[in-house]
Structure 1
Amino acid sequence: MSKSPTPEEGASEGLRRRPTINDIARLAGVSKKTVSRVINASPFVRDDTRERIQAVIAELGFAPDPQARGLAYGRAFLIGLVYDNPNPQYVVNMQLGLLDGMRNSGFELVVHPCDRSSPTFLDDLRAFIERQRLYGVVLTPSVSEDERAAKLMADIGCAYVRVASVTLDTPDHMIETRDRLGGREAAAHLAELGHTKIAFLSGPPTFRSSHERRSGFEEALNERGLSLAKAYVAEGAYTYESGVECGRALLEMADRPTAIFAGNDEMAAGVLQAARQLGVRVPEDVSVVGFDDFQIASRLWPTLTTVRTPTREIGRLAVERLMGREDDSRDPKSRLPSLVVRESTAPPAKR
């Protein structure tokens, strides 16, 4: 006589097709609405009920259908990352942070690179949001600093969070990175080493971060009786190539600076390359400081002293705020800039 299957075996055998939310509800002995609440991480479900539903979900390998959920809720379970940024590592780290925050949420990430200078910038952004039927978007610099983009979000009723170096919106729509503090850290470090002839390599003026990093840098220099000479200021583009070009110009000066603060690590890497090309030793002849502390900083030679900005942590926080899942217990200092001292800085050589 053949053995009768257990209820669990029968359930598995009867669900060779893709399981649905109705199947989960039936096997867990709850309503479809309760299953939906568990899938969407609602707090309004008893722990024992949640565990029972999650056990059935795990047993059947159930995965919510984003299209079906979108139809049911009148929107897609998609979050957009919108960026216009020349630094690819920033975009990668931000994506990783967003994905960290979206884990087990049922949401998926879509990205939208754009060009703020394009005459179709706003139309393209609107079309992206409406075509994807997004739940919401995270706007990163320099898009986040464009009031036209924020107004568009409000006009079309799209939830959004802006990541920017200063507060530009209400707290529920903002993550402030406070880049000015990072500029101050760089200036304090170089001044304490004894440098007085210090250059600044800025990013493009269309980025608020360029101005904030310079403002903090100059503030801290002035507090120590130092100043930033106009001849020692160069404008880059947050790219490696602009770092090489501007680095050469600064290092070829007859009275060259003994230290250079570059507005990001890509440009700092370019300055190191320019120094090698010109036979200028780092840090013996010139100290170099970057900003970001992306992976490249610890892989350069010499390794780069830089201001760390926790981009991945900021991305996670931004998307959690967007979804209403923010954990208030985390230390807010964890997302502030901080100096990481490595091999590219030293006291100036005595002449």
Structure 2
Amino acid sequence: MPARKSPDTASRIPSGKAATINDIARLAGVSKKTVSRIINNSPLVRKDTREKVEALMREVGYTPDPLARGLAFRRSFLIGMVYDNPTAQYIVDMQYGALDALRDSGFELVVHPCDSRTPNYIDGVRRFVQQQKLHGVMLVPRASEDQKLADMLAELGCRYSRIVPVGFEDNDGRMIVTHDREGAVEAADYLLTLGHRDIALITGPLTYRSAIERTNGFLDTLAQRGVEVPKARIIEASYTFESGVAAAEKLLAARQRPTAIFCGNDEMAAGVYKVALRAGISIPRDLSVVGYDDSPLASRLWPSLTSVRRHTRDTGRIAAGTLIRTDTAPLAVASVRPHLIVRDSCQPPP
């Protein structure tokens, strides 16, 4: 609720109208430019002046308009989030993280879904950036893995941050690395420790670097321990529930079923649960299942799903935060490391 105006202040603002930046400048006895500097946290304002103006803005309930600020500074106070990802919960969690970083900053978030399989999707992102006059762009997998897209943003002079499963050759301060391989290694180690040797894998689409990193990390770890996974036990899916169902139908219809399945995300793991239930296969007594993401779905399934947590909300917060920082010191590559959350979906093989 806006602060109540004092009688003196109220009498100097037209009745029924919200205070403007011109009103604030007039009442504080400073220039409009000084007020703008205070709104934008410029260090070029004396402390006593800043405190006086901020107190006045609170008193009259003045809130800066992001669009007006953008017009004044010839740029918007908007952060874009560009994504090409089929997992709805992942995108929601990423947005929550970005909003955490932008809260009380004066910046707002706008999203732009795209399909990187279409030939002109980069042109679509270019139009989005130019029309909105974006202050910066968060690139979310799989869009973040496209170097041509990053080059286009650099050409426009638009700052960006990239969420990537493994380090790319780019400015260090632009990257947030999620180390997807490490999460898959931990999942493989866990299943091996339980005694599983007959293991299957449902991967995400191998056009995604995240799927490649998880697949290679998992298979390499098994191979180092003398466990080879036959090609028939490796099924490429698409990070969706439906593709998890289709993959599980193939794996669980075999005469000799695997004793454990590692899924590239929780949505596909939920698909395995559906097929197992329909076939009368008990999880974890007959089949152990491990997912990836540790989305809210993991704890809602029964039995609760063991899954690799990748801290999606924290990742979004860091990615947005790098775009609005005022400190010009160089940034190092940011890392968000995954780890396995053990629940009830695994036990030693029968």
Q: Under a length normalisation based on structure 1, what TM-score does the superposition of the two structures give?
A: 0.91
CA contact (8 A) 1:134 1:158 kept: yes
Q: Distance in 2 between matches of 1:333 and 1:116?
A: 25
Q: Give the drift of 1:20.
A: 1.8
Q: Distance in 2 between matches of 1:69 and 1:306?
A: 44
Q: Distance in 2 between matches of 1:161 and 1:79?
A: 11
Q: Closer, same or farther in 2 for the Cα pair 1:287/1:50, shift >3 Å?
A: farther
Q: Closer, same or farther in 2 for the Cα pair 1:166/1:325, shift >3 Å?
A: farther
2:20 matched to 1:20? yes
Q: Give the drift of 1:234.
A: 0.6
Task: State the partner residue of 2:57.
Answer: 57
Secondary structure of 1:260's partner? strand
Q: Give the drift of 1:41.
A: 3.3
Q: Give the drift of 1:181.
A: 0.7
Q: Distance in 1 between matches of 2:319 and 2:137?
A: 10
Q: Closer, same or farther in 2 for the Cα pair 1:279/1:47, shift >3 Å?
A: farther
Q: Distance in 2 between matches of 1:282 and 1:22?
A: 66
Task: State the partner residue of 1:148.
Answer: 148
Q: Give the drift of 1:75.
A: 1.0
Q: Distance in 1 between matches of 2:307 and 2:141?
A: 20
2:179 matched to 1:178? yes
Percentage of pairs with the same residue: 52
Q: Closer, same or farther in 2 for the Cα pair 1:32/1:297, shift >3 Å?
A: same
For 1:147-296, what aligned pairs fall within 5 Å after superposition?
147-168=147-168, 169-296=170-297
The superposition leaves residues 15-63 of structure 1 with CA deviations (integer Å, 9 ceiling, x where unpaired) of 2422122333344454434432332234555555544433322222211
Q: Distance in 2 between matches of 1:302 and 1:240?
A: 17
Q: Closer, same or farther in 2 for the Cα pair 1:69/1:229, shift >3 Å?
A: same
CA contact (8 A) 1:262 1:291 kept: yes
The superposition leaves residues 43-91 of structure 1 with CA deviations (integer Å, 9 ceiling, x where unpaired) of 5555555444333222222111222211111111111110111011111
Aligned AA for 2:9? A
Q: Distance in 1 between matches of 2:263 and 2:313?
A: 21
CA contact (8 A) 1:248 1:274 kept: yes
How many residue pairs get aligned? The number is: 340
CA contact (8 A) 1:193 1:346 kept: yes
Q: Closer, same or farther in 2 for the Cα pair 1:50/1:310, shift >3 Å?
A: farther
Task: State the partner residue of 1:347.
Answer: 348
Q: Distance in 2 between matches of 1:313 and 1:211?
A: 23
Secondary structure of 1:24's partner? helix
For structure 2, the residue ranges without an aligned partner over 5 or more in a row are none
Q: Closer, same or farther in 2 for the Cα pair 1:257/1:155, shift >3 Å?
A: same
Q: Give the drift of 1:228.
A: 2.5
Task: State the partner residue of 1:4.
Answer: none
Secondary structure of 2:228's partner? coil
Pick one of 3, 6, 9 that aligns with 2:7: 9
Q: Give the drift of 1:10.
A: 1.8
Q: Distance in 1 between matches of 2:105 and 2:255?
A: 58
CA contact (8 A) 2:245 2:271 kept: yes
The superposition leaves residues 103-160 of structure 1 with CA deviations (integer Å, 9 ceiling, x where unpaired) of 1111111111111111221111111111111111101111111111111101211111
Aligned AA for 1:14? R
Q: Closer, same or farther in 2 for the Cα pair 1:20/1:238, shift >3 Å?
A: same
Q: Give the drift of 1:206.
A: 1.4
Query: Cα RMSD (Å) of the superposition?
Result: 2.1
Q: Give the drift of 1:173.
A: 1.4
Q: Distance in 2 between matches of 1:198 and 1:37?
A: 61
CA contact (8 A) 2:175 2:334 kept: no
Q: Give the drift of 1:320.
A: 0.7
CA contact (8 A) 2:244 2:268 kept: yes
Q: Distance in 1 between matches of 2:315 and 2:178?
A: 8
Q: Closer, same or farther in 2 for the Cα pair 1:295/1:325, shift >3 Å?
A: farther
Q: Closer, same or farther in 2 for the Cα pair 1:267/1:34, shift >3 Å?
A: same
Structure 1 runs of 4+ aligned residues shifted over 6 Å read none
Task: State the partner residue of 1:72.
Answer: 72
Q: Distance in 2 between matches of 1:96 and 1:69?
A: 24
Q: Distance in 2 between matches of 1:209 and 1:105?
A: 31
Task: State the partner residue of 1:3.
Answer: none
Task: State the partner residue of 2:318.
Answer: 317
Q: Give the drift of 1:254.
A: 1.3
2:95 matched to 1:132? no
Aligned AA for 2:73? Y
Secondary structure of 1:217's partner? helix
Aligned AA for 2:40? N
Task: State the partner residue of 1:41.
Answer: 41
CA contact (8 A) 1:41 1:105 kept: no
CA contact (8 A) 2:310 2:339 kept: yes
Q: Distance in 2 between matches of 1:228 and 1:24?
A: 69
